[in-house]
Amino acid sequence: MSIETSIGLETGQPYPYRRVELVEPDWTRFPGWKDVTTADWESVQWQRAHCIKNVRQLRELLGDLVDERFYADLERDQAERATMSMLVPPQMMNTMVPDVAPAGPGSLTEAFYADPIRNYMLPVFSDRRTDWPSHPHATRDSLHEHDMWVAEGLTHRYPTKVLAELLPTCPQYCGHCTRMDLVGNSTPVIDKLKFAGKPADRHESMLDYLRRTPGVRDVVVSGGDVANMPWARLEAFLMSLLEVENIRDIRLATKALMGLPQHWLQNDVVEGMGRVASLANERGVSIAIHTHVNHAASVTPLVAKATRAMLDTGIRDVRNQGVLLNGVNADPHALLDLCFRLLDGARIMPYYFYMCDMIPYSEHWRVSVADAQRLQHHIMGYLPGFATPRIVCDVPFVGKRWVHQLASYDVERGISHWTKNYRTSIEASDADALSRTYQYYDPIHTLPEAGQQWWTEHGSLDESALKAAEMAEASRRTAALQAF
């Protein structure tokens, strides 16, 4: 469906706004959870203990409501394509096919295939492209964050801000994860890198760098997902950060506010966040939570309750950074539904939609820069200006750029050229860093015939060569880590 068709240009307003009440789908519709109580559901321990981690557990949950064909498709993807291991908390599982009543064997199969949350949390082999499953320029660590580490896990890419990867795990694993190089367990396709240093030593090195680098004022405290860090350790790190005079903005990255809201509703977490917010306010520092919601169906009453609990602690804001994904939300209606659901239902501020990065096997999710520009155009004017998300392209060696900011664009070959106005931490003595152009590549299957032909002639996609290159890259990085 074209973007123009999907917004219904032929009738009235292209997007008809309607306020929607949030609903927690009934989890007892799934055979494996038919006896699960509300008390269990709202317990973070129960949620963590009942995550779906493999095909066997999914089969135990759904039984024959889904055909064997689907399970085989999922199993094949895990063996041959998946860059992330499977990990879906019940809370997220329950937002799949929320409106389809089970009606006997196989009755959920087609709805499961079509479901947007399933699409990115449980990718199957038949979702992926077979012509160009990976772009020839796809790489692990496509944003070269490790190259810009100034302490292990601390990326200094922009002049005044840093990204602190405190830990390499999350309560949920997204199939499209841009940090697939490091985050989560290894899969048959990807051997993950491991941090070499002990967590306490790494965190101290990060703080040490920030104390002696007064030009940095803003820290994204991330991972992974900070919800997987024992609260006492996270609080200690945040309190230390608040002692660093130059730090004025702190953003906590947690998809779990949506994927496992039960975590953020625990008493010790709410009370601890109150202490952190109180010290931040005393010192005039802004502390906010940045979450990652990709579809309106994910915004349920429990997500709203957890957000409310966090805002009530006195933090400045809760903002959303989604990822633009074909099959999930790359449609103006889906994006606007999500933004209004966040804003009206949960008081979460729509902030960014990132284009999906050029990681291996992500071509079926990625959209072209031209389509991203059209989507940005179509979502303008409906939301308040302060809540209208920017669609951004994270250009390797550059950073986030609004999608209309490109310097030039070869639409036929899908190659966009971008410039930047600052040096990253690895370019201090690079005289050409600010005059050079940097490239981003559209998915080849979206290009006109002539462009696809050009890539057929010039872009080699030999899968064994790709795998060999990935292994070589992993070895190089492991060696670099050990030398840290």
Q: Under the rule (CB under 6 A), what is the footprint of ligand SF4? A: 170, 172-174, 177, 179, 183, 224-225, 255, 292
Toward ligand SF4, which CB reaches closer, 179 or 420?
179
**Is-contact 116 327, C-beta < 8 A?**
yes
Select from 128, 99, 112 the least CA-distant residue to 61.
112
Residues counted in the chain: 484
Give the SS3 label for residue 343. helix
Minimum Å gap between C-beta 365 and ligand SF4 is: 12
Toward ligand SF4, which CB reaches closer, 168 or 350?
168
Q: 366 burial class (0-12, 13-18, 19+ CB within 10 angstroms)?
A: buried
Toward ligand SF4, which CB reaches closer, 90 or 414?
90
Q: How far apart are CA 262 and CA 274, in angstroms?
A: 17
Minimum Å gap between C-beta 423 and ligand SF4 is: 27
Minimum Å gap between C-beta 214 and ligand SF4 is: 29
Minimum Å gap between C-beta 449 and ligand SF4 is: 34
CA distance to 214, 234, 240, 278, 410, per residue, from 208 (Å): 11, 17, 10, 24, 44
Minimum Å gap between C-beta 258 and ligand SF4 is: 10
Minimum Å gap between C-beta 174 and ligand SF4 is: 3
Toward ligand SF4, which CB reaches closer, 172 or 320?
172
Q: 347 burial class (0-12, 13-18, 19+ CB within 10 angstroms)?
A: middle
What does the buried/exposed string (b/e) look like for 173-204 if buried means 16 or more CB atoms within 10 Å of the residue's CB? Answer: bbbbbbbbbbbbeebebbebbebeeeeeebbe
Q: Are strands 149-151 and 154-155 parallel, antiparallel or unpaired?
A: antiparallel
Toward ligand SF4, which CB reaches closer, 294 or 452?
294
DSSP secondary structure string for all residues of 355-374: EPP--TT-TTT---HHHHHH
Toward ligand SF4, which CB reaches closer, 176 or 217?
176
Minimum Å gap between C-beta 364 and ligand SF4 is: 17
Minimum Å gap between C-beta 479 and ligand SF4 is: 24
460 backbone dihedrals φ, ψ, rounded to 5° = -90, 130
Select from 435, 442, 443 the least CA-distant residue to 418.
435
**Is-contact 53 86, C-beta < 8 A?**
yes
Half-sphere exposure of 344 (CA within 13 A, CB side): 14
Toward ligand SF4, which CB reaches closer, 292 or 420?
292
Toward ligand SF4, which CB reaches closer, 87 or 447?
87
